[in-house]
Amino acid sequence: MVYTDEWAGYRPLTSAGRGHAAVNHNAGEWARDDDGDGIREVHCNTLEGIWTGLRNSLRPFRGVNKIYLEQYIKMFEWSYNLKSITPAFLRVLLGGRAARG
Protein backbone atom coordinates (compact mmCIF):
# COMPACT_ATOMS: atom_id res chain seq x y z
CA MET A 1 0.00 0.00 0.00
CA VAL A 2 1.32 3.45 -0.95
CA TYR A 3 0.08 6.57 0.85
CA THR A 4 0.62 9.90 -0.89
CA ASP A 5 -0.93 13.26 -1.62
CA GLU A 6 -3.00 13.77 -4.77
CA TRP A 7 -0.17 14.67 -7.15
CA ALA A 8 -1.06 13.40 -10.66
CA GLY A 9 2.21 11.47 -10.92
CA TYR A 10 0.90 8.90 -8.43
CA ARG A 11 -2.19 7.99 -10.49
CA PRO A 12 -0.53 5.10 -12.39
CA LEU A 13 0.08 3.23 -9.10
CA THR A 14 -3.43 1.80 -9.03
CA SER A 15 -3.33 0.63 -12.65
CA ALA A 16 0.06 -0.97 -11.96
CA GLY A 17 -1.56 -3.17 -9.31
CA ARG A 18 -0.38 -1.21 -6.27
CA GLY A 19 -2.69 -0.28 -3.42
CA HIS A 20 -2.92 3.52 -3.25
CA ALA A 21 -4.66 5.99 -0.96
CA ALA A 22 -4.18 9.75 -1.06
CA VAL A 23 -4.87 12.69 1.21
CA ASN A 24 -6.37 15.84 -0.27
CA HIS A 25 -4.32 18.80 1.01
CA ASN A 26 -6.51 21.25 -0.94
CA ALA A 27 -9.46 20.20 1.21
CA GLY A 28 -7.42 20.66 4.40
CA GLU A 29 -6.88 16.94 4.85
CA TRP A 30 -3.46 15.86 6.17
CA ALA A 31 -4.24 12.41 7.56
CA ARG A 32 -7.25 10.09 7.33
CA ASP A 33 -8.53 6.99 9.11
CA ASP A 34 -10.06 4.87 6.34
CA ASP A 35 -10.85 1.71 8.29
CA GLY A 36 -12.24 3.33 11.46
CA ASP A 37 -9.75 1.79 13.90
CA GLY A 38 -8.62 5.18 15.26
CA ILE A 39 -5.24 5.13 13.49
CA ARG A 40 -4.79 7.61 10.67
CA GLU A 41 -3.03 5.33 8.24
CA VAL A 42 -3.41 7.55 5.16
CA HIS A 43 -0.85 10.34 5.39
CA CYS A 44 1.99 11.99 3.52
CA ASN A 45 5.18 12.63 5.50
CA THR A 46 7.39 14.23 2.86
CA LEU A 47 8.37 17.28 4.91
CA GLU A 48 8.86 15.23 8.05
CA GLY A 49 11.20 12.96 6.09
CA ILE A 50 13.22 15.93 4.85
CA TRP A 51 13.59 17.31 8.40
CA THR A 52 14.68 13.87 9.62
CA GLY A 53 17.25 13.71 6.83
CA LEU A 54 18.63 17.13 7.81
CA ARG A 55 18.80 16.16 11.46
CA ASN A 56 20.59 12.90 10.60
CA SER A 57 23.06 14.73 8.34
CA LEU A 58 23.95 17.12 11.20
CA ARG A 59 24.19 14.39 13.86
CA PRO A 60 27.83 13.36 13.14
CA PHE A 61 28.97 16.91 13.89
CA ARG A 62 27.55 16.72 17.46
CA GLY A 63 26.30 20.26 17.36
CA VAL A 64 26.69 23.04 14.82
CA ASN A 65 27.55 26.64 15.57
CA LYS A 66 24.70 28.99 14.59
CA ILE A 67 27.15 31.00 12.49
CA TYR A 68 27.69 28.01 10.17
CA LEU A 69 24.21 26.42 10.33
CA GLU A 70 23.07 28.02 7.06
CA GLN A 71 26.05 26.53 5.22
CA TYR A 72 25.35 23.05 6.60
CA ILE A 73 21.70 23.36 5.56
CA LYS A 74 22.71 24.47 2.06
CA MET A 75 25.00 21.43 1.76
CA PHE A 76 22.13 19.17 2.83
CA GLU A 77 19.74 20.89 0.39
CA TRP A 78 22.24 20.43 -2.44
CA SER A 79 22.73 16.74 -1.67
CA TYR A 80 18.97 16.19 -1.25
CA ASN A 81 18.24 17.77 -4.63
CA LEU A 82 21.05 15.91 -6.39
CA LYS A 83 19.22 13.31 -8.46
CA SER A 84 22.12 11.38 -9.94
CA ILE A 85 25.86 11.03 -9.60
CA THR A 86 27.40 12.11 -12.90
CA PRO A 87 31.04 12.10 -14.01
CA ALA A 88 30.98 15.92 -13.91
CA PHE A 89 29.78 15.85 -10.30
CA LEU A 90 32.53 13.41 -9.30
CA ARG A 91 35.14 15.57 -11.04
CA VAL A 92 34.12 18.63 -9.00
CA LEU A 93 33.76 16.62 -5.79
CA LEU A 94 37.28 15.29 -6.14
CA GLY A 95 38.77 18.74 -6.75
CA GLY A 96 38.89 18.80 -10.53
CA ARG A 97 37.59 21.52 -12.77
CA ALA A 98 34.02 21.53 -13.99
CA ALA A 99 33.61 20.82 -17.69
CA ARG A 100 32.94 23.93 -19.71
CA GLY A 101 29.61 23.94 -21.47
Asked whether the beta carbons of 41 and 3 are under 8 A apart, the reply is yes
Domain membership flag for residue 100: no
**Residue 101 forms part of a structural domain:** no
Q: Does residue 66 belong to any structural domain of this protein?
A: yes
Number of domains in the chain: 2
CB within 8 A of 7, min separation 6: which ones?
none
74 lies in some domain: yes
Q: What is the pTM of this model?
A: 0.45
Q: Could you tell me if residue 65 is inside a domain?
A: yes
26 and 53 fall within a common domain: no
> Which tens digits make up the pLDDT trace of 13-71?
888 888 888 888 888 888 888 888 888 788 777 666 777 888 888 888 888 888 988 98
Residue 16's domain comprises: 2-43
Query: How many other C-beta atoms can be found within 10 angstroms of the C-beta atom of residue 2?
Result: 11
Numbers of helices and strands, H then E, in the chain: 4, 4
Q: What is the pLDDT of residues 70-90, one digit of tens each?
A: 988 888 888 887 767 788 878
Specify the pLDDT at position 98.
65
Q: Do 58 and 84 fall within a single domain?
A: yes
Q: Which residues pair with 43 in a beta bridge?
A: 31
Q: What pLDDT does 89 receive?
A: 78
Q: Please indicate, yes or no, if residue 85 is contained in any of the structural domains.
A: yes
Instruction: Report the pLDDT value the prediction gives residue 7, as an integer from 0 to 100.
Output: 83
Pair 30, 50 in one domain: no
pLDDT for 101 beyond 60: no
Q: Containing H/E element for 5?
A: strand 2-5
